[in-house]
Homo-oligomer: A and B are copies of this chain.
């Protein structure tokens, strides 16, 4: 609840929070360069936001006094898990992929029905790490083995921001932001990294090639299409590199598992094991920690020993990976509780994009229209949960929307590291600490831009979403709240949505002109693999 605040105190608080002016009104910006629609929103909600920020600061200060350090932050990003796939969403055991521990986490904290990501995996990883839409970073789409692109070292990752604020940083899992060492996590702000270069598919290829060459494979497009390792090299010129590495900041990385399905399974287990060991080691450190755990759950690989006999039919590989992931997440949460640092640790679980039906029936699923790669809700709307005992009230399900870029800015805010976010570029991520700590209605988004590669393909404003299509009808407008399945476009093509969308896009583009995108490097076929910026 927002009470009235006498003006002089309000001014003093505003001043204390490094206020700058925009137009005629003072705004809390921490020097972060937000996009135009956010600035407009901030202007509109100026008084409430100042008051909310004060409430949040009080909570964070009290916590810091208790634990003698800033909160730890753990981000768990998962793979291709669609909106509707967890048990609390009617998926889970109801769809043959039980998720009991993730559901428990969801009810112990805040579960999001309106969390958004970029439409595919590399882009979402860029967004989380940089707080920016990938289009701004010059890296636009999913990376495949042999591509020389990677996350520009000029981008400032969340690990780099938090390091400056005194955090210890580590990542496990699917990096997928470039094969070359220059793009590697240990060179992008992470003290320690244990990571895979590719998405799940290439890890299964060699095995699949061995198993199915010349035979009819089971119903998976990926298994079916892969020509075998040798043929792949012949056609693409690319030899699959050792896919898994361990790296220390400033050191030389070393390969750790072979590129195979079994290698992937071992890597995932070893990641969970290391992660918990690391948490134990750092629990009593005087420095807080940041962990980015980009789990491979659920991709196409299955883990036979985790097959869940009660619910799973034989063709369902990812249910086994999901159950294993469940156990890993629960172990992590139990470890935090056991070490008595749970109340000083924010854990957010997020999926990277919608399901990939290309692998059906060994694939994810969504109740919504579209899939991985689409800007329809099925591609970008994902399950997510936040868990922080004592700080996030249990069993909340806010209507507010959040975007994966928000994880960047929110982490910086909680870490007291907002000043380390560079101000020479636009950051799309919004600080959602108010939503986490004050609950429903305190989200700070009423807009979203959905890019696919270099193209702005959809814009969200309030309950409405405009699709921009180069072919077919020039626009489709949906009321996403009333029609999340995007079935009834025509009825909402009303004139009252035109002006808000025009303004949003115009101001967004003006901002891009002021802060241009990093130049995209598209690899010409057969090009040598050399780093770019």
Contacts and interface: CB of A to CB of B under 8 A. Distances in A.
A397 B483 CA distance: 26
With most chain B CB atoms within 10 A of its CB, the pick from A95, A310, A316, A463 is A95
A483 B365 contact: yes
A422 B362 CA distance: 47
Interface in A348-381: 357, 360-361, 365, 367-368
Given A87-B397, A484-B95, A360 B491 contact: yes
A381 B77 CA distance: 32
A93 interface: yes
With most chain B CB atoms within 10 A of its CB, the pick from A360, A368, A485 is A485
Interface in A369-403: 397, 399
Nearest to A89: B90
A224 interface: no
A100 to B, nearest CB: 11
A225 B367 CA distance: 32
Contacts of A367: 84, 90, 367-368, 485
B96 A313 contact: no
13 contacts: A89-B90, A90-B113, A94-B484, A96-B463, A96-B481, A310-B441, A311-B481, A313-B482, A316-B482, A357-B487, A361-B483, A361-B492, A367-B485
Please give the count of copies of this chain that the complex contains: 2
A147 interface: no
B481 A95 contact: yes
With most chain B CB atoms within 10 A of its CB, the pick from A93, A361, A399, A492 is A399
Given A311-B399, A367-B367, A368-B367, A482 B84 contact: no
A313 B463 CA distance: 9
A361 B482 contact: yes
Contacts of A485: 365, 367
A424 B29 CA distance: 77
Nearest to A311: B399
Given A360-B488, A485-B367, A90 B90 contact: yes
Contacts of A237: none
Interface string A439-474: 001000000000000000000000100000000000
Nearest to A368: B367
Interface residues of A, number: 36
Interface in A467-526: 479, 481-485, 487-488, 491-492
A74 to B, nearest CB: 25
B482 A95 contact: yes
Contacts of A365: 482-483, 485
Contacts of A357: 487-488
B488 A93 contact: no
Closest 6 CB pairs of A and B: A367-B367, A94-B113, A96-B481, A90-B113, A360-B488, A219-B491
B90 A313 contact: no
A114 B94 contact: yes
Contacts of A492: 361
Nearest to A481: B96
A315 B479 CA distance: 11
A365 B486 CA distance: 11
A493 B484 CA distance: 30
A302 B485 CA distance: 23
Contacts of A491: 219, 360-361
A460 to B, nearest CB: 15
Given A94-B397, A357-B488, A365-B482, 18 more contacts: A84-B367, A89-B90, A90-B90, A90-B113, A94-B399, A94-B481, A95-B481, A95-B482, A219-B491, A310-B441, A313-B479, A315-B482, A360-B488, A361-B482, A361-B483, A361-B488, A361-B491, A367-B367
A313 to B, nearest CB: 7
A210 B454 CA distance: 53
A96 to B, nearest CB: 5
B94 A482 contact: no
Interface in A202-235: 219
Interface in A315-335: 315-316
A399 B93 contact: yes
Contact of A482 (B89, B96, B441, B479): B96
Nearest to A487: B357
A313 B397 contact: no
A456 to B, nearest CB: 25
Nearest to A440: B93
A164 to B, nearest CB: 38
A491 B358 CA distance: 12
A316 B492 CA distance: 13
A365 B483 CA distance: 8
Contacts of A316: 482
A224 to B, nearest CB: 12
